[in-house]
Amino acid sequence: MTHLRTRAVHAGQHPDPVTGAITTPITQSSAFNYGTLERGAAIFAGEAEGYRYSRFGNPTVAALEAKMADLEGAQAAVAFGSGTAVTSSLLLGLLKPGDEIAFLGPLYGGTEGLFRSLGERFGIKAVDATHSGLAACLTPATRMVWVETLTNPGLRLHDLAEVAALAQARGILTVADNTFCTPCLTRPLELGIDLVMHSMTKYLGGHGDATGGVVAGAAALVAAVRKTGLGHVGGNLSPQEAFLFLRGIKTLPLRMAAHCAGAAAVAEFLAAHPAVRAVHYPGLTSHPQHALAQRQLQGGFGGMVTFELLRNERAAAAQVLNALQLFTQAVSLGDVDSLACHPASTTHSFVSPEARAAAGISEGMIRLSVGIEHPDDLIADLAQALQPLA
């Protein structure tokens, strides 16, 4: 299987050997029979394959992990109960007190907040390399570099191959959050990144009905994260959620094509609207990194569009958001339904006003997650909401 569309349907899944069921069954069991003391001891010691307890592994979850490893071109993957559980498990599983993590932002506010609170509480220093440049911020204590494939909410890019080469030369691990792009648009491991993670809650699930996260990469690294995140922290994904993600991923390439087409149309409309000061979308030729986006993204520029109102104030943003009818006000993204939010008061309320200002997150900024509705209907909804400000 070479085409992503085919692999999204078939990778990691096989007809059930007992019943012949095509859809992977939900294995709703907390514990598993391992037969003999000797086999149980071997499984617990990691010397034999097998299931023992669903916190450590479950057949439904394992099918999802195999599918995501295949789609990202990784040796292995491990799934968690949320994207934030992935982030905390990566920090606690691969770093130790005295280590530093450098990040290129702006990041999702919850990620930076986790670095600043949980990470620093455990003696892991977080260093923002966004403005100074990565090379200038690396020290002998740097053990990890974190980057998003599209930044949240400004939709900027970082050259992943360049980041990977710089870090690898110093023996530093790299992690890319690929939530916004999915394997359909970019595969960071192919560009030299060590580990790729997702909030599966977003595009991978796609229907707003499941919460989960996943990280994929080299088997040894994934095993270390699994041991900490599942064995010690207990952030495992439930089999019901895994079933929903397996279902959602089957249509991921088709949905991403629709998301990208709709977002491109919405971005073009907003760029020409008199009430809009700026539009952030890598598919626009006006985007400062459009050339990098063309090189690094494949098959589309994503389903997210962020724009800033000419009236750069919260009251104006509220007027527009509260008038929307097809776009639902919600903080998630990647659903088949179109969503809209005000980053300064929601996704990035975790960071200080000064940090928001440095990241360009203004009070007049609105973030759109463009769903799979017809673009004409979405544009009409935005037009009527913006009309009073024109």
For residue 18, what pLDDT is reported? 87
Select from 3.40.50.300, 1.10.3720.10, 3.30.428.10, 3.90.1150.10 the CATH code of 252-389: 3.90.1150.10
Which band of pLDDT confidence, cut at 50, 70 and 90, is reported for residue 356?
Answer: confident
Residues with catalytic annotation? 55, 108, 177, 202
User: Rounded CA gap, 228 and 224, in Å?
Assistant: 6
Domain boundaries, the chain: 4-249, 252-389
Q: Is the pLDDT at 351 greater than 80, yes or no?
A: no
203-212, pLDDT tens digit by residue? 999 999 999 9
Q: Is the pLDDT at 1 greater than 70, yes or no?
A: no
Cβ(196)–Cβ(215) below 8 Å = yes
104-163, pLDDT tens digit by residue? 988 888 899 899 999 999 999 999 999 999 999 999 999 999 999 999 999 999 999 999
362-388, pLDDT tens digit by residue? 999 999 999 999 999 999 999 999 999
261-306, pLDDT tens digit by residue? 999 999 999 999 999 999 999 999 999 999 999 999 998 999 999 9
For residue 342, what pLDDT is reported? 97
User: Rounded CA gap, 184 and 8, in Å?
Assistant: 10
Specify the pairing of strand 304-309 against strand 276-280.
antiparallel
For residue 237, what pLDDT is reported? 98
256-273, pLDDT tens digit by residue? 999 999 999 999 999 999
DSSP states of 284-310:
STTSTTHHHHHHH--S---SEEEEEES
| CATH number of this structure's domain 4-249 | 3.40.640.10
